[in-house]
Amino acid sequence: MLLAALPLSLMGNWEERREEMVQVQIEDRGIHDRAVLRAMGRVPRHQLVPENQAGRAYGDYPLPIGHGQTISQPYIVALMTELIEVGPESKVLEIGTGSGYQAAVLAEIVKRVVTIEIIGPLAERAQEDLKGLGYDNVEVIHADGYHGWAEEAPYDAIIVTAAAEHIPPPLLEQLRPGGRMIIPVGRMGWTQNLVLVEKREDGSHLTRNILPVRFVPLTRGRR
């Protein structure tokens, strides 16, 4: 996808910081999928965070984006993207648009991204920012992500960027046989695990704990 041009005075600096992020925070930690590394190296993370956080955009930590939400640590974004094993013809559902950063990374790799955000102002801002950056293969929907988006199911993969107390049954239903879902499971303040779900051809599924994580909770009820 084409990206909006950065100011020439900043372009080199941002590119250098992004390259360092990819090398030190991501590749050196074991992420080797070339498509994921290229995507992480292309998406201008500093343009998808609040202006007062832009200088910290390429740091090794999550950042606040308002409304009690965060943008995930770059390594976690890369890890989740690698684990779902998607390609140029894939259609991916994301639950929890937030700033739009994870959707932008996916959009660099896959054919179509459907991303759902329950908080209206975040959905509106992400839609504007993603459109401004040229990501025309992303659709942002303001809705309750627990229920997924059945209109475009099945999905080749699903990424959930907020912690659920259990794996939502509607998401399992909307995942195609052979597809993968990555989701943090656990309550706020308790141990959360990043869980990889693989759906078998017969509709059953396998789950595997990847690593302990800390995500904001999956919010229920449209607002």
The string of pLDDT tens digits covering residues 210-220 is 999 989 888 77
- Percent of the chain at pLDDT exceeding 70: 93
DSSP conformational letter for 89: T
Asked whether residue 139 carries a pLDDT value surpassing 60, the answer given is yes
Show Cβ contacts of residue 93 under 8 Å, excluding neighbours closer than 6 positions: 113, 114, 115, 116, 148, 149, 152, 153, 155, 157, 158, 159, 171, 174
Output the pLDDT for position 152: 97
Q: What is residue 8's predicted lDDT score, i.e. its pLDDT? A: 38
Domains of the chain by residue range = 8-213
Choice among 9, 72, 90, 99 that is catalytic: 72
Strand order in the sheet with 192-199: 138-142, 112-117, 91-95, 155-160, 175-185, 192-199, 205-213
User: What is the model's pLDDT at position 222?
Assistant: 46
pLDDT at 3 over 50: no
Strands in 52-90 per DSSP E: 63-66, 69-71
User: Taking the domain 8-213, which CATH number applies?
Assistant: 3.40.50.150
Output the average pLDDT for the chain. 92
Let me know: does 40 contact 77? Beta carbons within 8 Å.
yes
**97 pLDDT exceeds 70?**
yes
Q: pTM to 2 decimals? A: 0.91
Whether 72 is catalytic is yes
